[in-house]
Amino acid sequence: MQPCVSQGYYTIGMTMKQHLTKQRVLEIIRRFSSARVLIIGDIMVDHFIWGKVSRISPEAPVPVVLVTDESQLLGGCANVLNNVCSMGGQAYISGAIGDDAMGQWVIDELEKVKVDTRGIIRKKNRQTPVKTRIIAHRQQVVRFDRENRRPVDMDDIQKIIAYVKSVKDQIGAIIVSDYNKGFVSETLLDEVRRIVEGTPIALCIDPKQSEFSFYRGCDMITPNQNEAAQALGSELASFEDVIEGGTALMKAYDFKSLLITRGEEGMVLFERKDGIVYTPIPAVAKEVYDVTGAGDTVIGIFALSVAAGASSEEAAVLANHAAGIVVGKVGTATASQQELVNVLS
C-alpha cells in the first residue's frame, strides 16, 4: 500500500489547517509536571573549553585557542534527562559509569537535582565517557573523546531490568538513548520490550546502530536523515527519497511511528493509521548556532509529551519547537517550559 500524506502541517501560527491549537498546547505543557519518563542509555560528560582565536600556530596550520573558561555538563542520555527536567517533567535514569572521578561527578550532579541514581551501575573496569569540545567565537574548533565501549555483562543487565520493573508503574514513557558506547544491547532491549508489552508505556528509541532490526517493534524511533540512510544502505538525497525510505523502514521493522529529523529541512513523521501516513513538519529555528544535543531534545520532549497525553503528531510538533530553541544556543543546551510556551504563544 502506498503511503498517503496527512492533510496540513502540524505547526503553530501558520495559515494552513491547524491540527494543534494554542489551547491544546498549553494543556499538554501543564501536564508535564505530572508526567514521568525513564531514560536508559549511555551516560556521558560534556566538557567544554571556551576561548578566543587570534592567530594560527607557527607549528602547524591550526588555530591557537586562548582558553578563557571551562565547563562540564551532563551528556548522552543524562542530557536527555536534563531536557525532560528543564520542561518540568519527572525523570528516572539507568546506565553505567566508571568508578572514577567523572562518574562521581555525574552522581553528584544528579543528586543535586534530586534524581534517583539507583538505576546507575558503577564499574571499576569502565571509564565514564567524556566528550571535550573546544569552542572559540561561538564555533566548535575540535572535539576529542575519552571512552571505552566494553559491553555490560548479564549480571548488570539483570540489575538494570530489576530497576526498570521497580519504577514501571510510575512512568508513562521509556527512552532508550543509544550512543553506541556499549551499554545498550539486544538482550537489554528485548527485556525492556517484555516489560512494556501490554502496558500503556511508550518505548521511544534514539538510535545509533546502523542495523535497525536492533530496535524492531518500538513505539517511536527518531533517527536523523543520515542515520536513516545508513540503516537503508542508500542515500536520501531528496524529500521523495526520505518519504520512500521512511516508509520502507516502517514496513521492514514494524515501528509504530518514525520521526526522521532533517536539520534545516525540519522533520517528517511516519505513523500507522489507515496504512502508513507521513506528515512533513517544517523547521522553526530562526538562528542555528550549535546542533549539539538537539537530538536529545527531540527524543526527550517527544517522550515527555506522550507521557503527558499528547498524540504522536502533537508530541512531534512540541519536540520540533523545543529543538528550535536549543540550536539557537551554544553548547549542550536545554529549553525551558517557559521558553516553549513563549515560542508557541
Cβ-contact 140, 134 below 8 angstroms: yes
Res. 251 pLDDT band, cuts 50 70 90: very high
**Secondary structure percentages of the chain, helix, strand, coil, to 5:** 40, 30, 35
Please choose, from the candidates 220, 225, 233, 315, the residue with its C-alpha nearest in 3D space to the C-alpha of residue 271.
Answer: 220
- Residue 231 has which C-alpha cell? 540503516
**pLDDT at residue 12 is higher than 80:** no
Cβ-contact 84, 319 below 8 angstroms: no
Q: 4-46+75-344 belongs to which homologous superfamily?
A: Ribokinase (3.40.1190.20)
Contacting residues for 163 by C-beta, under 8 A, at least 6 apart: 94, 118, 119
Say what the pLDDT of residue 332 is: 63
Res. 288 pLDDT band, cuts 50 70 90: low
Please choose, from the candidates 306, 311, 313, 305, the residue with its C-alpha nearest in 3D space to the C-alpha of residue 280.
Answer: 313
At 50-61, the pLDDT tens digits run: 999 989 999 999
d(CA 115, CA 306): 21
Compute CA 260 distance to the chain's CA centroid, rounded to the nearest angstrom. 12
- For residue 218, the SS3 value is coil
At 15-32, the pLDDT tens digits run: 233 457 888 989 999 999
Say what the pLDDT of residue 18 is: 43
Query: Angle, to 10 degrees, between the axis of helix 22-30 and the axis of helix 312-326?
Result: 80
190 is catalytic: no
**pLDDT at residue 255 is higher than 90:** yes
Say what the pLDDT of residue 290 is: 46
Percent of the chain scored above 70 by pLDDT? Answer: 91
- Residue 70 has which C-alpha cell? 571551562
Res. 291 pLDDT band, cuts 50 70 90: low
At 185-220, the pLDDT tens digits run: 999 999 999 999 999 999 999 998 889 999 999 999
Please choose, from the candidates 158, 123, 157, 129, the residue with its C-alpha nearest in 3D space to the C-alpha of residue 143.
Answer: 129
- Residue 334 has which C-alpha cell? 536545554
How do the domains of the chain map onto residue ranges? Answer: 4-46+75-344
Res. 287 pLDDT band, cuts 50 70 90: low
Say what the pLDDT of residue 79 is: 92
Res. 284 pLDDT band, cuts 50 70 90: confident
Mean pLDDT across 269-294? 78
Mean pLDDT across 313-330? 86
**pLDDT at residue 227 is higher than 90:** yes
- For residue 173, the SS3 value is strand
Of 46, 219, 290, 296, catalytic: 296
Q: What is the value of pTM for the model shown?
A: 0.88
Q: What is the DSSP string of 75-144?
A: EEHHHHHHHHHHTT-EEEEEEEEESSHHHHHHHHHHHHTT---TTEEEETT-PPPEEEEEEETTEEEEEE
**pLDDT at residue 173 is higher than 50:** yes
